[in-house]
Structure 1
Amino acid sequence: MKTQSHLLSLSWAAALSVSLLAVQPAAAFTVFDPSNFVQNTLTAVRTLEQINNQINQLQNEARMLTNQARNLAGLDFNVVNRLRSTLATTERLITEAQGLAYDVQNLDREFARLYPEEYAATVSGDQMYQDAQERWKYTRDGLHAAMRMQAQVSENLTQDESALADLVSQSQSAEGALQATQATNQLLALQAKQSIQTQQLQITQERAAALELARHAAATERAREVRRRFLGDGTPYTPHPVHFYGN
């Protein structure tokens, strides 16, 4: 009896199992495909790499644009007007200089009149004296102009030192290529301005020296002409005794 009951239980269990299998839908079974899984994983990895590359590219482009903006940023600092101002001051001193004109045409005419190679016989002694006075005045004015230029250049040095310090500071703190280039150009402008100023100073100094040399040359010619007129062109004066009161 016990054996039959056991066999009957097994039969019922088998029948129940078959019944359950018969009613379970086919979709409930999961089928794993290793090759498809690997392929999907590789595709996901490649997609992620592409996204990372695109992100890196966008970041590089953003940095490039930032650098370009920095390099193209202008320098908000300019000393050119300061340089022009000091240079205009020295130019004004030359314009105000008295005496012989600085332009060639007028200078040649005045020089021929005041510093002749030789005096004509028609020139009076009074005229020669007046010319000598005018030459002395021109020499004095030339020396005065040279000394004024020296004083002005000395004052300009303080402003140039200040401009130089500012430009060096701007150059060292430049954020981009354009700012560095602009600061360098202004440093070159300062150097050019100082070179022009040095030439102006040299012109006035050498002019004063030239006026003095010309005055000496003219004085020598005047002395020669005065001596010639005193001695005359005829028979030289011969001393002879003079008798007074019939003696």
Structure 2
Amino acid sequence: MHLYVAIGALSITIIPSAHAQWAVYDGANYVENVLIAARTLQQIDNQITSLANQAQMLVNQGRNLASLPLSTLGTLQSTISQTTALLAQAQNIAYSVQSVEQQYQQAYTSISSGMSDSTLFSQAQTRWQNSVAGFEDALKLQARVVGNIPSDSSAMTQLVSASQTSTGALQAAQAGNQLMALQSRQLSDIQAELAANGRAAELERARQAANEAGAEAQYQHFAQYDAYVPEAVSIPGSGN
């Protein structure tokens, strides 16, 4: 009887001790942990956004540094070389100050009445050949300039298209530079054509002026002879 009561008392004493081990919920600590996690996620998100912006900036820089795949420099240089070659092939009187001075002095300004008729004729022939050659040179150069128009039109179309579809600042700038180079070459063509036309016109005017001086010299030759005096002519069998 007493043993049973003791066991029962012991049991009653042990049971309350087992219920005392339950976990206690700390709401303030939980809220703090959630805030820390939220701040951490926000920092990670900010870092991701920053990295994305930096990556986009690098992509834009790559586009700005990308070279234009189209280049018309070779064509422009070839065209300029052809025009320069035509100018270098100028006949008789070249585009040279020394050549002009020498040949102009010989054929245009050294005319005098002391020259023989054959010399005057030879100089006149040389001047005529110079004028004809000058007009021929001008026509050749005009043909070259006109022949450049189709290729210029094609190059301009390509460059404008490349400028409008450029992916970065460098490509747009390069397209603009090539357009300016094309315009400069076209201006060079105009200068060359004006020079050739002016050369031909000046040679013709010089020829006309020199021919007047030559005609005056020939008149002086003719004036040196005595005037014609008619004489009686005896015709055989006429009885006179």
The answer to whether the Cα contact below 8 Å between 2:112 and 2:214 also exists between their aligned partners in 1 is no
Residues 1:17 and 1:66: Cα distance change in structure 2 (over 3 Å):
farther
* Deviation at residue 229 of structure 1 after TM alignment: 2.6
RMSD: 2.3
Give 2:161's aligned residue. 169
Residues 1:195 and 1:23: Cα distance change in structure 2 (over 3 Å):
same
Give 2:40's aligned residue. 47
* Deviation at residue 38 of structure 1 after TM alignment: 3.2
Deviation string 1:67-125 (CA, Å, 9 cap, x unpaired) is: 11111111111111111222222221111121212110121111111111x63454322
SS in structure 2 of the partner of residue 75 of structure 1: coil
Amino acid at match of 2:156: L
Q: How does 1:183-202 map to 2 (within 5 A)?
A: 183-202=175-194
Residues 1:229 and 1:203: Cα distance change in structure 2 (over 3 Å):
same
TM-score (norm 1): 0.84
Identity of counterpart residues, as a percentage?
Answer: 37
Give 2:24's aligned residue. 30
Amino acid at match of 1:30: V
Give 1:7's aligned residue. none
Question: For 2:220, which of 200, 219, 228 is the aligned residue?
Answer: 228
Amino acid at match of 1:64: M
CA distance in 2, matches of 1:197, 1:135: 27
The yes-or-no answer on 1:21 pairing with 2:13 is no
CA distance in 2, matches of 1:122, 1:240: 26
Give 2:106's aligned residue. 113
CA distance in 1, matches of 2:230, 2:190: 67
Unaligned runs of 5+ in 1: 1-11
SS in structure 1 of the partner of residue 205 of structure 2: helix
Residues 1:238 and 1:77: Cα distance change in structure 2 (over 3 Å):
closer
CA distance in 1, matches of 2:12, 2:129: 139
CA distance in 2, matches of 1:86, 1:193: 8
Q: How does 1:11-160 map to 2 (within 5 A)?
A: 18-24=13-19, 26=21, 28-34=22-28, 36-116=29-109, 119-120=111-112, 122-160=114-152
* Deviation at residue 160 of structure 1 after TM alignment: 0.8
* Deviation at residue 60 of structure 1 after TM alignment: 0.3
Pairs aligned (count): 228
Residues 1:17 and 1:71: Cα distance change in structure 2 (over 3 Å):
farther
Deviation string 1:163-202 (CA, Å, 9 cap, x unpaired) is: 1111122112211111111111111111111110111111
TM-score (norm 2): 0.86
SS in structure 1 of the partner of residue 137 of structure 2: helix
* Deviation at residue 39 of structure 1 after TM alignment: 2.8
Amino acid at match of 2:15: L
SS in structure 1 of the partner of residue 39 of structure 2: helix
SS in structure 1 of the partner of residue 71 of structure 2: coil
Amino acid at match of 1:82: T
CA distance in 1, matches of 2:50, 2:230: 122
Amino acid at match of 1:20: I
CA distance in 1, matches of 2:160, 2:65: 20
Structure 1 stretches of 4+ moved >3 Å: 14-18, 23-26, 236-245
